[in-house]
């Protein structure tokens, strides 16, 4: 696999020309000293770190994997040293608040950095994937004395964290969980139970680990409303010597997985572990959802990063590999055959990846900016609007981008032909690594359910109409005739989605399962709406510069056109599938259907 | 992973009720004594062998893989013993001609058996995947003295075979190959060169291996027209003692692959290996295409088998796993949550797999029947028609079914949630195993090129109109109003495909690369046409029996309806993409597009 190069040019375009993030951050107290130069410097440093320190460990980490020894989980060779460098350089504190020792930089910059790290070595980057979410929960919900102990350690990167939700019998349905927490006289709790699928549940990078654990208090109501959140450290002491302070929590196994093998997925046992309540009793799930939403956006970011890595490898291979003539007369008669990048079908595969990646990057950065605005904008109406868009688009970013990225890594593999199927080229690892993105942090089916039930039907479509309003306002404001190629299909799709949503809402008012039947295809249609809106904006930004000396803009425009002519036609099919509804799935009962 | 059960009920439906294969075989000399009872018995025996002897070795074979030792390639534990039983039971001879010691049974029966074996253990079944193709080539093109030595050994299963085409610098573009063959005074040839990606290039199952090797004679024309075909055995003696007869051919490496790890993919070295010409000098590629076409159909069959295995696992898991309520009031208040099979979105995933599998099985069996008719029908017009359909539909069966199957195994994994990502459940292996089906025997992009250029544009669309005629005649003959749900979309699709094909042909007459630009999406649209035709026939066969005591027919009908309402809408999008043509891929040159 060729070296990874952070896509700084496209990141800059997205940040500055498309989203005007530098201007918008200036409206936010705490971020108003951030300028393009600071953002540039940070991204360049992240790109160097990624290329020099972690990209080269990716394949070896997959081959070696993690193992459970008597001393706990062992991660692949070189991973701890790379993390030490990462922490030493101050990366963990990037977006943490200054009051806890952080640099106070915006989420949008953290997001760009996270994409770069995931592209270079996802298995390694998983080691701290939940830290920002854990930091957010603790900084909002934990008691001051807990904050004083734990937040500085997380901000400095000295300690890492895990989130402990899933149990063997429940993942999606956390209401079924059984881990118990019993109050002790000193104000702490005794935690007992088993958890599975815990990323970084144990590791050899940091001397202590901060576990956030969902458990039930005695007499708690059953279901989702009886779940509380606890902080359970691996070691109870936070002084220099941790030797005698081991808490009753340990990894009992490391799963063998299809991919992400460099990231330890642990089965965990809590045996009379000491923990402290975070937030209100029985309100643990809503606190945890802060972290879940952050993690879901993180999956979208990771998905784009992995797809970018595969895309770079595929472009390099397609330039290099000679096979057949693309047309006659031969474009490269000096060579025994044409580079396969000259073949139209290979360009179709590369452009699909490029469009998905650039569309996904626009969506991710936009949502990160929404987070910054929701937290810090002085105007409450702007905060509210940012929050509503974020709520609507989070399940789309998680599911649409991970589905796309799985397709993209597979296209990168396909461009490599038989060589792509070999371990040596590294592309098949990307396919295996990104596959879990469609599953974890709530399967993509669950994202669809969240989108329709909570984000659209629950508010009578208000959030959706806000999004449609953005797209229509943008389209209405375009005057260049070249923009009609983009605005006309965008407006048609807005109309179609409005109509389908209204019919779906009526059907769901009679039978809520109609939402479940339509959900997955509907989510994809909405994903296309978002991409169509963002690529139309791309076209508007690139059109005036398409004939300039920088070919970047001509390439952006070609990609936007490709998206509209060769990917967007999927949307109509998705809407037709969504409209087929429950009748298509329930003609006869499941016992006879799947006999 | 649950035990595999051969889908005999659906196979019987496809063979007897849909294709009326038993009646049609009766028209063919040599097959006119075959009846439903013989077919049933054979499939039951294959199902037992698959379930009892090989299904249980599948996961262990993946974990152990193949390795190269000083004695040659070592295959996973238990694989040779299973092959010995397979050969002993006479399976290799099933479809071989009686004159070489075979049972002379039809291709359609061999195809059903092959699906069953691939479902149970693809890695193992790859061990003899090319034998039938090698048998066919040798029985048609080899000199009688070669036939006398090699055919009986292949028919009995005592020896196995390999096809040696690919070289490091050429896979798709065999015209570039460099392996040389120099004539010896005794009428044999001395072969020198390197090959890669050779399935079963070496193994520890049989004492000898028959390699079919493409190489160039001295002074041969460059490109495709200078390639000849040679038979190169691993051992030159065919008597009892092979000890001193080792030929100059050996495996020099075993590839590390994403999947199919139980099947050795070898790098091969030919050093002054002794070989014999098969067929005419410089005509090797056309002889090899006999085998390639057989192998391509084999990929479609294998794809359906692997998808079936995943589907069975997914249905079992979905019945068992309890998570959330599908609706209120709860359908299973006796349980803490509903089995996930009650959730609409899970049924969507299961029905997609079911429709793809049953559609794929119909296509595979239909094509196998075409092979039987092309070879043996007394009416030359019938032979010609069967041959033309076969030529048209072979690239579709290879590419559409392998693409579908990759989606299906991923849906099976998705139904399993996080557990699907673990090695333990066995579904992720199916995803990895089937991934190569989109690549080998000609990538799916190459299939699309073959479909448009050779099979459609080359004969002015005559083959395509034959297919459209079948669909239109069928639709026109339906009288039941319930059939309109199927016949109307089928006729609409016929019309749309006709129009798109005509425009594409015009565009390609100006620039042949237009065919390459449209090919992949066009192939998928044609795949949907074939499935729509076959599912409409399914509906016609099932409708009269839908209310009978056997729920099988209601399930077939529900699956056909699901296909038409929830999968077929993809076809319009594919045609729109195909029509976007070369302009969508060539707006600017590739150097600036992928800068």
Give B243's pLDDT tier (boundaries 50, 70, 90). Answer: low
Q: Is the pLDDT of residue A334 over 60?
A: yes
CA distances from A415 to A172, A346, A401 (A): 36, 7, 20
End position of a domain, from candidates B224, B255, B283? B283
Euclidean distance between CA atoms A69 and A34, whole angstroms: 46
The reported pLDDT for the residue numbered A242 is 61
ipTM above 0.95, yes or no: yes
Asked whether residue B496 is domain-assigned, the answer is yes
Q: How confident is the model at residue A466 (pLDDT cuts 50, 70, 90)?
A: very high
pLDDT in tens, B142-179: 999 999 999 999 999 999 999 999 999 998 899 999 99
Q: Shortest Cα distance from A266 to chain B (angstroms)?
A: 12
Confidence of residue B314 (pLDDT cuts 50, 70, 90): very high
| C-beta atoms of B565 and A555 within 8 A | no
Dihedral sign for Cα A72, A78, A80, A83, please: negative
Encode burial over A37-49: b for 16+ CB neighbours within 10 A, e otherwise.
Answer: eebeebbebbbeb
Q: With an 8 Å Cβ cutoff, are B344 and A594 in contact?
A: no
Let me know whether B16 and B84 are in one domain.
yes
Task: Kindly tell me if the per-residue pLDDT of A432 is higher than 90.
Answer: yes
Of A176, A582, A585, the CB nearest to B351: A585
Question: How much is the average pLDDT of A574-585?
Answer: 96
Distance CA B282, CA B443 (A): 24
- Structural domain including A547 reads 443-586
Residues of B in contact with A557 (CB under 8 A): 587
Q: What is the pLDDT of residue B33?
A: 86
Identify the closest residue of chain B to A314 by CA–CA distance.
Answer: B594
Q: Do B440 and A418 touch (CB under 8 A)?
A: yes
Residue B541: CA count within 13 A, CB half-sphere = 22
pTM score over 0.80: yes
Instruction: Looking at the complex, report in whole angstroms how far the Cα of residue A185 sits from the nearest Cα belonging to chain B.
Output: 33
Average pLDDT over residues A230-241: 81
B269 pLDDT above the threshold of 70: yes
Q: What is the mean pLDDT of chain B?
A: 96
Minimum distance, in Å, between the CA of residue A102 and any CA atom of chain B: 34
Q: Which of B169, B172, B594 sits opposite A324 (nearest CB)?
A: B172
Closest chain B CA to residue A254: B422
**To the nearest whole angstrom, how far is the Cα of A192 from the nearest Cα of chain B?**
21
Residue in this structure with the two tokens 């599911």, named with its chain if needed = A399
C-alpha span between A39 and A111 (Å, rounded)? 12
Residues 6+ positions from B496 with CB-CB distance below 8 Å: B571, B572, B575
Q: Which residue of A566, A568, A575, A578 to mutate against B (max B Cβ within 10 Å)? A: A566
Please check whether residues A223 and A124 belong to one and the same domain: no
> Is there a catalytic annotation at residue A441?
yes
pLDDT of residue A161: 98
Residue that terminates a domain, selected from B234, B255, B283: B283
> For residue B186, with 0-12 CB atoms within 10 Å meaning exposed, 13-18 middle and 19 or more buried, which class applies?
exposed
Query: How many domains, chain A?
Result: 3
Does residue A326 form part of some domain?
no
Whether B176 is covered by a domain: the verdict is: yes
The pLDDT assigned to A269 comes to 98
The full DSSP string for A460-478 is TTHHHHHHHHHHHHHHHT-
Q: In the predicted model, what is the mean pLDDT of chain A? A: 96
Q: For the residues A497-521, what does the mean pLDDT come to?
A: 96
State the Cα–Cα distance between residues A431 and A428, nearest whole angstrom.
5
- Which two structure tokens, joined as six digits, stand for A72? 């706990």
| pLDDT 10s digits, B41-68 | 999 999 999 999 999 999 999 999 999 9
Is pLDDT of A13 > 70? Answer: yes
Q: Is the pLDDT of residue B185 over 80?
A: yes
**Burial of residue B67 (number of CB atoms within 10 Å: 0-12, 13-18, 19+):** exposed
The CA distance from B403 to the nearest CA of chain A, in Å, is 11
Q: What phi and psi values does residue A152 have, to the nearest 5 degrees?
A: -60, -35
Task: Identify the helix (H) or strand (E) that includes residue A183.
Answer: strand A180-183
Whether B31 and B126 share a structural domain: yes
Q: Nearest C-alpha of chain A: how many angstroms from B189? A: 27
H/E run at residue B510: helix B484-510
In-domain check, residue A27: yes
Cβ contact A257–B554 (<8 Å):
no
Looking at the predicted structure, is the pLDDT value of residue B298 above 70?
yes
User: What confidence tier does A239 reach under pLDDT thresholds 50, 70, 90?
Assistant: low
Same domain flag for A103 and A174 = no
- Of A99, A92, A94, A60, the C-alpha closest to A79 is A60
Band (pLDDT 50/70/90 cuts) for residue A290 is: confident
In this prediction, residue A241 carries a pLDDT of 58
Q: Is the pLDDT of residue B241 over 90?
A: no
DSSP state letter for A480: -
B positions 548-577 inside 8 Å of A (CB): 551-552, 554-555, 557-558, 561-562, 565-567, 569-570, 572-574, 576-577
Inter-CA distances, B410 with A200, A527, B99, B301, Å: 26, 21, 44, 18
Q: Which of residues 171-230 of B touch A (CB under 8 A)?
A: 171-173, 176, 196-197
List CB contacts (< 8 A) between A580 and chain B.
565-566
Contacts of B324 in chain A (CB under 8 A): 172-173
Q: Which among A172, A513, A557 has CB closest to B344?
A: A513
CB interface of A with B, residues 62-81, below 8 Å: none
Please indicate, yes or no, whether residues B52 and B174 belong to a single structural domain of this protein. no
In total, the C-beta contacts within 8 angstroms joining chain A to chain B are 268
Q: Assess whether A200 and A127 both reside in one domain.
A: no
A216, A226 Cβ separation under 8 angstroms: yes
Contact of A482 with chain B, judged by CB distance below 8 Å, is answered with no
The predicted model gives B341-351 an average pLDDT of 97
Residue written as token pair 């490391």:
A254
Does residue A400 belong to the interface with chain B, where contact is any CB pair within 8 Å? no
**How many CB atoms sit inside 10 A of residue B103's CB?**
17
| A477 and A543 both lie in a single domain | yes
Over residues B346-355, mean pLDDT: 98
User: Residue B239: pLDDT above 90?
Assistant: no
Rounded to the nearest 10 degrees, how much is the dihedral formed by the CA atoms of B488, A566, A307, A19?
-120
Angle A79-88/A107-125 helices, nearest 10 degrees?
Answer: 160
Domain limit, last residue, from A249, A283, A317: A283
Average pLDDT over residues A536-549: 96
Are B580 and B460 in a shared domain? Answer: yes
Q: From the list B422, B513, B572, which residue is nearest A257 (CB)?
A: B422
Residue B369 maps to a domain: no
Rounded Cα distance, B461 and B459, in Å: 5
Is A173–B323 a contact, with Cβ atoms under 8 angstroms apart? Answer: yes
Q: Is residue A216 part of a domain?
A: yes
Model pLDDT for residues A147-198, shown as the tens digit of each residue: 999 999 999 999 999 999 999 999 889 999 999 999 999 999 999 999 999 9
Confidence (pLDDT) at A86: 98
Question: CB–CB of B555 and A594 under 8 A?
Answer: yes
For range A70-87, the mean pLDDT:
98
Distance from CA of B492 to the nearest CA of A (A): 15
Q: Which of residues 533-552 of A touch B (CB under 8 A)?
A: 551-552
Q: What angle do CA B205, B206, B208 make, to 5 degrees?
A: 145
Q: Tell me: the pLDDT tens digits for A249-278? A: 999 999 999 999 999 999 999 999 999 999
Q: In CATH, what number is assigned to the domain containing residue A273?
A: 2.40.110.20
Residue A237 above 80 pLDDT?
no
* The two three-digit tokens of residue B564, written as one number: 């038409």
What is the pLDDT averaged over residues B300-309? 98
**Are B107 and B217 found together in one domain?**
no
R_g over Cα of chain A: 24
DSSP structure string for A275-286: EEEESSTTBHHH
Confidence class for position A238, pLDDT limits 50, 70, 90:
low
Q: How far apart are CA B386 and CA B398, in angstroms?
A: 18
When pLDDT is cut at 50, 70 and 90, the band that residue B325 belongs to is very high
Q: How confident is the model at residue A2 (pLDDT cuts 50, 70, 90)?
A: confident
Partner residue opposite B439 with nearest CB, options A417, A423, A440: A417
B261 touches chain A (CB under 8 A): no
Which of the residues A308, A374, A441, A514 is marked catalytic? A441
**pLDDT tens digit sequence for B256-265:** 999 999 999 9
pLDDT in tens, A205-215: 999 999 999 99
| Residues A94, A197 share a domain | no
A421 and B406 in contact (C-beta within 8 Å)? no
Tokens at B379, concatenated: 């009416």
Residue A477 vs residues A537, A540, A544, B359: alpha-carbon distances, Å: 11, 11, 16, 48
Q: Which among A327, A582, A584 has the least Cβ separation from residue B513?
A: A327
User: Is B35 in the same domain as B93?
Assistant: yes
What tokens appear for B361 in the block?
Answer: 């099985």
Domain assignment present for residue A307? The answer is no
d(CA B476, CA B237): 61
Q: State the pLDDT at residue B578.
A: 97
The pLDDT tens digits for A510-526 are 999 999 999 999 999 99
CATH number at residue B108: 1.10.540.10
Mean pLDDT, residues B185-199: 97
- Between CA B195 and CA B171 the distance in angstroms is 10
Residue B237 has pLDDT above 80, yes or no: no
Selected residue of A348, A422, A444, A542 to mutate for chain B interface (largest B Cβ count, 10 A): A348
Pairwise CB contact (< 8 Å): B557 & A587: yes
pLDDT at A26: 94
Question: Are residues B569 and B464 located together in one domain of the fold?
Answer: yes
Domain for residue A594, yes or no?
Answer: no
Residue B282 has a pLDDT of 97
A128 in reach of chain B (CB within 8 A): no
The active-site residue out of B115, B167, B441, B514 is B441
**Cβ-based contacts of A519 with chain B (< 8 Å):** 344-345
- B500 and chain A in contact, CB less than 8 A: no
Q: Cβ neighbours of residue A457 under 8 Å, at least 6 residues apart?
A: A505, A508, A515
Whole-number Cα distances in Å, A316 to A420, B196, B591: 13, 22, 11
């Amino acid at each position: 696999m060729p070296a990874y190069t952070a896509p700084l040019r496209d990141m800059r375009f997205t940040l500055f020309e498309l989203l005007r993030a530098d201007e918008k951050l200036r409206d936010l107290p705490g971020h108003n000293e951030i300028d393009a130069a600071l953002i540039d410097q940070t991204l360049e440093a992240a790109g160097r770190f990624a290329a020099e320190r972690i990209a080269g460990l990716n394949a070896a980490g997959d081959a070696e994997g993690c193992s459970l020894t008597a001393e706990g989980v062992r991660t692949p060779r070189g991973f701890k040293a790379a993390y030490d460098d990462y922490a030493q350089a101050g990366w963990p504190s990037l977006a943490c608040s200054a009051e806890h020792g952080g640099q106070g930089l915006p989420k949008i910059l953290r997001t760009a950095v996270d994409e770069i790290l995931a592209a270079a070595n996802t298995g390694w980057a998983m080691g701290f994937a939940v830290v920002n979410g854990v930091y957010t929960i603790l900084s909002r919900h934990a008691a001051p004395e807990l904050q004083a102990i734990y937040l500085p350690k997380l901000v400095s990167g000295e300690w890492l964290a895990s989130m402990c939700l899933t149990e063997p019998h429940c993942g999606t349905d956390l209401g079924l969980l059984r881990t118990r927490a019993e109050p002790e006289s000193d104000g702490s709790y005794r935690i007992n139970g088993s958890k599975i699928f815990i990323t970084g549940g144990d590791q050899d990078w940091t001397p202590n680990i901060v576990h956030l654990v969902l458990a039930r208090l005695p007499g708690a109501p059953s279901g989702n409303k009886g779940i509380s959140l606890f902080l359970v450290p691996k070691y109870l002491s936070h002084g220099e010597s941790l030797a005698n302070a081991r808490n009753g929590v340990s990894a009992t196994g490391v799963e063998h997985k299809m991919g992400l093998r460099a990231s330890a997925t642990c089965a965990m046992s809590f045996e009379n572990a000491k923990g402290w309540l975070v937030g209100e009793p029985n309100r643990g799930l809503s606190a945890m959802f802060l972290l879940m939403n952050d993690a879901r956006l993180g999956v979208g970011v990771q998905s784009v990063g992995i797809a970018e890595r595969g895309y770079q490898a595929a472009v390099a291979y397609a330039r290099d590999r000679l096979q057949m003539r693309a047309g006659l007369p031969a474009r490269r008669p000096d060579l025994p055959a044409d580079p396969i990048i000259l073949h139209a079908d290979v360009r179709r595969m590369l452009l699909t990846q490029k469009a998905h990646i650039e569309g996904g990057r626009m969506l991710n950065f936009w949502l990160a900016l929404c987070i910054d605005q929701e937290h810090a904008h002085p105007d409450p109406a702007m905060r509210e609007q940012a929050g509503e868009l974020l709520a609507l688009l989070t399940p789309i970013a998680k599911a649409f981008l991970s589905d796309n990225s799985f397709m993209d890594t597979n296209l990168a593999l396909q461009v490599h032909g038989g060589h792509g199927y070999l371990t040596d080229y590294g592309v098949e690892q990307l396919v295996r690594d990104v596959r879990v993105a469609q599953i974890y942090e709530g399967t993509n089916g669950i994202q669809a359910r969240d989108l329709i039930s909570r984000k659209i039907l629950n508010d009578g479509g208000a959030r959706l109409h806000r999004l449609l309003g953005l797209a229509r306002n943008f389209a209405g404001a375009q005057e260049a005739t070249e923009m009609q190629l983009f605005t006309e299909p965008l407006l048609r799709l807005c109309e179609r989605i409005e109509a389908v949503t209204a019919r779906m809402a009526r059907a769901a008012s009679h039978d809520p399962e109609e939402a479940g039947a339509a959900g997955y295809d509907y989510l994809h249609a909405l994903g296309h709406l978002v991409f169509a809106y963002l690529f139309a904006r791309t076209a508007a930004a690139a059109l005036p510069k398409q004939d300039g000396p920088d070919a970047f803009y001509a390439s952006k425009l070609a990609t936007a056109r490709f998206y509209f002519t060769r990917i967007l036609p999927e949307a109509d099919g998705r809407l037709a599938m969504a409209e087929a509804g429950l009748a298509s799935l329930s003609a006869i009962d499941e016992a006879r259907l799947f006999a």
